[in-house]
């Protein structure tokens, strides 16, 4: 898991699963972007699943759903936005959210995320579609 903003973390499915064993980062909401369901869930944790595909453009309805889920839940707690391994979908959507709230433009946001989590590998197709929705 990598903290990219005060109350926003990105990671993979394994990070979300590990929360049941311990939650040192005080995550309150897990937003899952992958099709796989989280098997081990922490009682009292808020779980949201909005599965998107990595190598396809994100439909505007799903983009809006992810932006709304982040915005609604980050107001009252800490959010983990995760995809399969935390390399493409989560960083792309986190950068989209950072741009949507006016923090940075999407290109500057993805560069900042890459500085914090050097292992990211954003899908060009997904990233370009997010840019179009902003």
Question: 116, 67 in Cβ contact below 8 A?
Answer: no
- The CATH number of domain 2-133, selected from 3.40.1080.10, 3.90.190.10, 3.40.630.30, 3.40.50.620: 3.90.190.10
Looking at residue 39, what is its pLDDT? 86
Query: Which residue stretches of 3-85 are H helix?
Result: 13-18, 60-74
pLDDT (tens, 9 = 90+) of the chain, 134 residues, equals 999 999 999 999 999 999 999 999 999 999 999 999 888 898 999 999 999 999 999 999 999 999 999 999 999 999 999 999 999 999 999 999 999 999 999 999 999 999 999 999 999 999 999 999 99
The residues spanned by each domain of the chain are 2-133
Q: What are the counts of helices (DSSP H) followed by strands (DSSP E) for the chain?
A: 5, 5
Angle between helices 89-100 and 124-133 (to 10 degrees): 20
């Amino acid at each position: 898991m990598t903290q990219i903003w005060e109350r926003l973390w990105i990671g993979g499915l394994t990070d979300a699963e590990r929360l049941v064993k311990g939650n040192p980062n005080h995550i309150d909401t897990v937003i899952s972007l992958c099709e796989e369901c989280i098997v081990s869930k922490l009682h009292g944790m808020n779980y949201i699943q909005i599965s998107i595909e990595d190598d396809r453009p994100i439909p505007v309805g799903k983009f809006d759903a992810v932006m709304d889920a982040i915005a609604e839940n980050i107001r009252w707690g800490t959010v983990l936005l995760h995809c399969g391994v935390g390399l493409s979908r989560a960083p792309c959507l986190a950068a989209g959210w950072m741009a949507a709230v006016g923090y940075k433009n999407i290109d500057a946001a993805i560069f900042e995320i890459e500085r914090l989590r050097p292992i990211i590998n954003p899908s060009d197709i997904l990233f370009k579609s997010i840019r179009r929705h902003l």
